[in-house]
């Protein structure tokens, strides 16, 4: 049985260090600082502190991390090595001295264009939600240019949408209208058609959707939008299900955001750094943020000259280190490799679904893409999630999408092999059995982690946000 390490680890500033010594430097006394409010520790003390903390932590380097909608695939260490080569660059350096960095950005733009079938890309947005917001600003600028912004006030989205979608649309000043899903778990086409008219600015959707179901009517959806002069927006969170098989461009999308930190294997979780490039097609390229990296046949340069640009959306050029890692990942896999990653991600998801579906309820239709949503039969999703931790695997996403009550959203990714999938399935089956025979063990879980069940309600009502509040 799994048992997580547990140390009674003090905060860094509670560890007793050396007495502060007068440092002898040739500086006048009045300019010398008398005390410095940082821990005065030796290297081994700091290393042991962080190593212990890391042993009480969990990550994709330890075991399975099936966090639905987050694509927690393994991040090859080679990407990190390559990113290190660039760590001494400064964003204010002369263009002529950073040709290599610009080449990486240029090639990444080009590769993302090919993967998505878009005509132009900006690499600036710092993460997915930032990409969405940038996309909504592009929608705004486009309709404004056409003189239609005043009447096109509404952004439509399905009731299975990621929560960031309505937030991004609202932040860009649009009204949000929710479109219901049908009994198959897909967008209700009739409801969408009825809600779309000349007040519609855009429809935001992810495909496959958050249930892991491919929106089969996507071409019809695109037709409805374009007939009404509205734009179709692709939330790229689920690109790992279609990459190399089809593309947002083929499906009729106008604007796309990608999450390099999900699909393209750069580390994430714990707040970043992420990267959320935005691609567009047709005349929308004239609205992209500046600068864009271009190549004039001899050298790479930053182009600030974009006709109707919405301006900058991020300081400097975005999270460059993340771009390098994504570039390395794409280069290493190549087109065939990316396609195989997709095929295996979808296969893994469907294999796992088949292994556990007798023990968990599977709402809507059967065939899924890279992730699937189930409901426990005799337990709360929260308790199943907590119990999973006892077996040394990370819990899936829970209580999302909102249209499935007690949802467990499982995305194994292509990283896992059959052995780890079987192991995960067996744990899920054992938990289903426990829910029937010994429900208390779920309700009191986790038992084997460094910290037992935390009081989420108290944490939300009375948050402790700094170490000083801990007192």
Partner 1 sequence: MYPEDLKYTKSHEWAKIEGNKAKIGITYYAQEQLNDIVYVELPEVGTTINKGEPFGVVESVKSSSDVYMPLSGKVVAVNDMVVDQPELLNEDPYQNWLIEIELENPDEANELMDAEEYTKFVEEEEKNH
R_g over Cα of the chain: 25
Is the CB of 90 or the CB of 405 nearer to partner 1?
Answer: 405
- Give the binding range for partner 1 (CB under 8 A) out of 9-17, 92-100, 138-146, 397-405: 397-405
Taking the C-alpha atoms of residue 317 and residue 340, their distance in angstroms, rounded to an integer, is 31
- Give the binding range for partner 1 (CB under 8 A) out of 106-114, 132-140, 440-448, 455-463: 455-463
With contact defined as beta carbons under 8 Å apart, do 139 and 104 qualify?
Answer: no
351 part of the interface to partner 1, by CB under 8 A: no
Least distance (Å) between residue 153 CB and partner 1:
14
170 part of the interface to partner 1, by CB under 8 A: no
Give the residue, chosen from 2, 86, 351, 399, that forms a contact with partner 1 under the rule CB under 8 A: 399
250 part of the interface to partner 1, by CB under 8 A: no
Binding pattern for the stretch 355-394 against partner 1, x by CB under 8 A and - elsewhere = ----------------------------------------
456 part of the interface to partner 1, by CB under 8 A: yes
- By three-state DSSP, how is residue 252 classified? coil
Is the CB of 261 or the CB of 386 nearer to partner 1?
Answer: 386
77 part of the interface to partner 1, by CB under 8 A: no
Phi first, then psi: what are they for 298, rounded to 5°? Answer: -120, -50
Least distance (Å) between residue 361 CB and partner 1:
12
- By three-state DSSP, how is residue 360 classified? strand
- Give the binding range for partner 1 (CB under 8 A) out of 100-108, 236-244, 346-354, 399-407: 399-407
Give the residue, chosen from 457, 466, 469, 471, that forms a contact with partner 1 under the rule CB under 8 A: 457
145 part of the interface to partner 1, by CB under 8 A: no
36 part of the interface to partner 1, by CB under 8 A: no
User: C-alpha distances in angstroms, 355 versus 351, 413, 463?
Assistant: 6, 16, 40
Taking the C-alpha atoms of residue 218 and residue 41, their distance in angstroms, rounded to an integer, is 59
Number of neighbouring beta carbons within 10 Å of residue 449: 19
Phi first, then psi: what are they for 356, rounded to 5°? Answer: -110, -5
Is the CB of 156 or the CB of 346 nearer to partner 1?
Answer: 156
Least distance (Å) between residue 199 CB and partner 1:
17
- Give the binding range for partner 1 (CB under 8 A) out of 5-13, 113-121, 345-353, 453-461: 453-461
Express the helix, strand and coil content of the chain in percent, nearest 5 each.
Answer: 40, 10, 50
Number of neighbouring beta carbons within 10 Å of residue 461: 8
What count of residues does the chain have?
Answer: 471
CA torsion sign for 218, 222, 225, 231 is positive
- By three-state DSSP, how is residue 25 classified? coil
Size of the site for partner 1 (CB under 8 A): 8
183 part of the interface to partner 1, by CB under 8 A: no
Angle at 140 between CA 211 and CA 314, to 5 degrees: 80
Least distance (Å) between residue 185 CB and partner 1:
15
- Give the binding range for partner 1 (CB under 8 A) out of 148-156, 389-397, 429-437, 452-460: 452-460
Which residues fall within 8 angstroms of residue 282, CB to CB, at 6 or more apart? 119, 254
Is the CB of 33 or the CB of 405 nearer to partner 1?
Answer: 405
Number of neighbouring beta carbons within 10 Å of residue 182: 13
Binding site for partner 1 (CB under 8 A): 163, 399, 402, 405, 456-457, 460-461
């Amino acid at each position: 049985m799994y048992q997580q390490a547990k140390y009674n680890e003090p905060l860094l500033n509670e560890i007793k260090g050396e007495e502060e010594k007068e440092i002898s430097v040739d500086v006048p006394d009045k300019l010398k600082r008398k005390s410095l409010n940082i821990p005065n520790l030796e290297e081994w003390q700091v290393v042991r502190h962080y190593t212990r903390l890391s042993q009480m932590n969990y990550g994709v380097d330890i075991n399975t991390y099936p966090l639905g909608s987050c694509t927690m695939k393994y991040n090859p260490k080679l990407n990190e090595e390559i990113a290190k080569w660039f760590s001494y660059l400064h964003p204010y350096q002369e263009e002529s001295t950073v040709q290599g960095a610009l080449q990486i950005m240029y090639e990444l733009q080009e590769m993302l264009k090919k993967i998505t079938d878009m005509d132009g890309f900006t690499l600036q947005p710092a993460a997915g939600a930032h990409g969405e917001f940038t996309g909504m600003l592009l929608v705004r600028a486009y309709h404004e240019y056409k003189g239609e912004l005043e009447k096109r006030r509404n952004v439509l989205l399905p009731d299975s949408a990621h929560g960031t979608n309505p937030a991004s649309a609202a932040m860009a000043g649009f009204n949000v209208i929710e479109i219901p899903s049908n009994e198959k778990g897909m967008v209700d086409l009739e409801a969408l058609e009825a809600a779309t008219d000349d007040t519609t600015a855009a429809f935001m959707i992810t495909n496959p959707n958050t249930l892991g179901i491919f929106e089969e009517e996507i071409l019809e959806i695109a037709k409805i939008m374009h007939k009404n002069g509205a734009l179709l927006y692709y939330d790229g969170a689920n690109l790992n299900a279609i990459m190399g098989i089809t593309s947002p461009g083929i499906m009729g999308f106008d604007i796309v955001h990608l999450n390099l930190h999900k699909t393209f294997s750069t580390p994430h979780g714990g707040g970043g750094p992420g990267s959320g490039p935005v691609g567009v097609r047709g005349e929308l390229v004239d609205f992209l943020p500046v600068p864009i990296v271009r190549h004039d046949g001899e050298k790479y340069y930053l182009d600030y000259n974009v006709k109707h640009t919405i301006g900058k959306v991020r300081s400097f050029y975005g999270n460059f280190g993340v771009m390098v890692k994504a570039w390395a990942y794409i280069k290493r896999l190549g087109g065939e490799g990316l396609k195989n990653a997709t095929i295996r991600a979808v296969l893994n998801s469907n294999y796992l679904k088949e292994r556990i579906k007798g023990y968990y309820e599977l709402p809507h239709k059967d065939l899924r893409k890279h992730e699937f949503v189930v409901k426990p039969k005799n337990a709360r999703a929260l308790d199943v999630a907590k119990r999973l931790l006892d077996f040394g695997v990370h819990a899936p996403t829970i209580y999302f999408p909102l249209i499935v009550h007690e949802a467990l959203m499982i995305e194994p990714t292509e990283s896992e092999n059959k052995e780890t999938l079987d192991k995960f399935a067996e744990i899920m089956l054992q938990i289903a059995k426990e829910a029937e025979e010994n429900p208390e063990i779920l309700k009191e879980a986790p038992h084997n982690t460094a910290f037992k069940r935390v009081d989420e309600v108290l944490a939300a009502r009375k948050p402790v946000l700094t170490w000083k509040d801990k007192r």
